[in-house]
Amino acid sequence: MHTWNETAPIYRQLADRLTGQLLAGDPPEGEAMPSVRVLASQYLINPLTVGRALQVLVDDGLVESRRGVGMYVQSGARKRLRRSERERFLTQEWPLLLARLRQLGIEAGELNWDL
């Protein structure tokens, strides 16, 4: 079974997981998202909770709901997502990483960029 942690409500964690997949191009732009039923079955989550997670993606402008046919990945979603994720990395993750590098006395030249 999938494990969920206590950092956030389950719907939020599922939304983050689906967002991560969209960033990797799954599913591609213009394609249909898996249905609520499919996601509920796959993750063993209540369908209403899946609906809440998909609504987060709608609110973030990543997918759109087409009445009667389901959810589709918006065109440009990946680009926008990449932009916002870059922004988040630079403002939130990088300062923490930099502090850690300074703590350990690691210089830029010591880092292996070819991994």
Partner 1 sequence: MTTTNLIEARDLSVRYGKKTAVNGIGFSVAKGRVVGLLGHNGAGKTSLMKALVGLLPSTGELRVLGLDPHRQRVELLESLCYIPDVAILPRWARVDQLITIMSGLQPRFSAERARTLLKRTSVGPRDKVKTLSKGMVVQLHLALIAAVDAKLMILDEPTLGLDILSRKSFYEMLIDEWCDGERSVLISTHQVEEIQPLLSDVMMLNEGRLVLSTSLVDLDQRFVGLSHDAAAADQIAAAHPLLRYRQQGQAAALFDGAPPAHVEALGQRFQPSLVDLFVALTRAPEMNRTVG
In whole angstroms, the minimum distance from the beta carbon of 102 to partner 1 comes to: 23
3-state secondary structure the chain: CCCCCCCCCHHHHHHHHHHHHHHCCCCCCCCECCCHHHHHHHHCCCHHHHHHHHHHHHHCCCEEEECCCEEEECCCHHHHHHHHHHHHHHHHHHHHHHHHHHHHCCCHHHCCCCC
User: Measured from the CB atom, is 37 or 80 closer to partner 1?
Assistant: 37
Report in angstroms how near the CB of residue 86 gets to partner 1 at its nearest.
Answer: 26
Which residues contribute to the site for partner 1 (CB under 8 A)? 1-2, 4, 6-11, 37, 40-41, 43-49, 52
In the bound state with partner 1, the residue whose beta carbon lies nearer, of 29 and 65, is 65
Minimum CB–partner distance for residue 54 and partner 1 (Å): 14
Q: Which is nearer to partner 1, 31 or 59 (CB)?
A: 59
